[in-house]
Structure 1
């Protein structure tokens, strides 16, 4: 757990610099296509330092995350199936493809709102040639709902929540990473289950 807290502290330290907004943009963009660290950690740190700017930070995070998702979509288009099978197991790919067949782009929306690995869905959305306009709309709705919810909490409660977050920030960051790892475990578990079901048919 200690290394998670150290990594979270490294990410959060950007909130104390003049480059916090830029760091948030870069982190949110990268997390949507290839980077493992969720931007929520830095978003919360920035909102705790300047709660009056919370909605602005949520806007930065949402815009960057959607643009990063679009980049992941084009990685899927350009890289194609060989790249997808190199990065992800066949079980995960089969599971995500089944989600697309059932829910279309709203599978991307679910991943953007929950701890499920969003980058897996953005890249495979391009591979499976989902409608790009609908993909963007689903990303905006899901990522916006997630980040603005955090922003609104800090904007509304302001100093009242500021002290609480500073005191428990390390454990909050650990919780985000646990949820992230849990999201990958869910995809892996469900993918393996889907593969076994396919074999039994």
Structure 2
């Protein structure tokens, strides 16, 4: 199922309506969709490097708006909408542990790591932010910074290095971003527990 969804999303990059699809995928990825917008963004930016920054802006705006929807689902409709979505993806138990043991600082850290490296998945963090009442203005600001940094860094890499960087991005950037996210989490834990 996941491979079919991935292939379908990738096929959208070749359509004339690709920008609209990018906005839709980036929007729903932040609250309910499984496939990251990068799957559509990267081939679009490689095919049209002159539009890479435009695509980054579209993806960032749509992702932040989708994140606001995720926050609203968590804040206003946790039992009715969020619980079934989390159960569908098998993330409910993990989510509940996070919900019970999470403070504002940790939510902010997760928003940054999720926005940059999908760790944890962005939809989990956006819903969790609403459930715990994370301040919406801080949520929006951190989402703009984290998601914008991800898409605009990809735009810069793709414009500068073109097709050769695609394999690197698809195979290794996730690992590099994950290592960076792990370092941020470790730093947070050290600062929190050493003080």
TM-score range, shorter chain: 0.7 to 0.9
Please give the root-mean-square deviation of Cα atoms over the aligned residues, in Å. 2.9
> CA deviation digits over 1:14-36, x for unaligned, max 9?
22211010000000000000000
Q: Paired residue for 2:189?
A: none
Aligned with residue 71 of structure 1, among 51, 69, 72: 69
Distance 1:39 1:162 in 2: 18
Q: Paired residue for 2:139?
A: 135
Structure 2, unaligned runs of 5 or more? 183-195
Aligned with residue 29 of structure 1, among 27, 38, 48: 27
Structure 1, unaligned runs of 5 or more? 187-201
Structure 1 residues 175 and 10: CA distance shift in structure 2, 3 A:
farther
> What TM-score, normalized to structure 1?
0.73
Distance 2:133 2:2 in 1: 38
Q: Paired residue for 2:122?
A: 118
Q: Paired residue for 2:193?
A: none
- Secondary structure of the corresponding residue to residue 105 of structure 1: helix
Alpha-carbon offset, residue 164 of structure 1: 6.3
1:164-183 aligned at under 5 Å gives the runs: 165=166, 168=167, 172=170
Distance 1:40 1:23 in 2: 12
> What TM-score, normalized to structure 2?
0.75
Distance 1:89 1:8 in 2: 23
Structure 1 residues 26 and 82: CA distance shift in structure 2, 3 A:
closer
Distance 2:96 2:102 in 1: 10
> CA deviation digits over 1:58-99, x for unaligned, max 9?
111110000000000111122135654442433432225534
- Is 2:97 the counterpart of 1:94? yes
Alpha-carbon offset, residue 108 of structure 1: 1.6
The alignment covers a number of residue pairs equal to 171
Structure 1 residues 14 and 85: CA distance shift in structure 2, 3 A:
closer
Distance 1:23 1:130 in 2: 29
Higher relative contact order (CA 8 A, sep 6+): 1
Residues 32 and 123 of structure 2 are in contact (CA less than 8 Å); yes or no, is this contact kept in structure 1?
A: yes
